[in-house]
Amino acid sequence: MPPTVRVKKTQLSYFRAMARDSHKEIQALLVGEVVNPDLVVIHRFAYPKKYAEQTYSGVAWYTDEYDVVAAEAAKKNLRIVGTIHSHPNWVPILSPQDHKGHVTEGYRVSGICSTQGRKTMVAFWVAESALPARVEYK
């Protein structure tokens, strides 16, 4: 059975709505906990005030904003477990560039939200599996 990502449906719905309304990539940091190798629980999505880079095919945070999110998470015994970003008018796949960033940053989970017009599709991956994780709503 694939690993499970447990997420609040309202938080994921909010991200999907933002992705539908943007022609450029957007990204959120996923703050939560790795309960065990087969379960990641996302407590919240963190959004930047402004992106360091935001194009049709790329998105990046400013380091100082990232550091603030990481410090706030640590105060609550949580951590940044991964990211989710959009693929405007593209499929929800973990590209080689996405996978490399996932592994380099040491994230447990990476999410992709593809948009096709007003429709969205979301999938999450862990680094050691080519298959998407199972999504469970809390």
Q: Which helix (H) or strand (E) holds 27?
A: strand 27-36
The predicted structure's pLDDT at residue 102: 84
CA atoms within 13 A on the CB side of 135: 14
Q: What percent of the chain has pLDDT over 70?
A: 100
Assess whether pLDDT exceeds 90 at residue 1. no
User: Smallest Cα–Cα separation from 66: which of 47, 84, 85?
Assistant: 47
Contacts of 9 (CB under 8 A, 6+ apart): 137, 138
Rounded to whole angstroms, the Cα distance separating 5 from 72 reads 21
Q: Which helix (H) or strand (E) holds 4?
A: strand 4-7
- Whole-prediction pTM: 0.95
Q: State pLDDT tens for residues 97-129.
A: 888 888 899 999 999 999 998 999 999 999 888
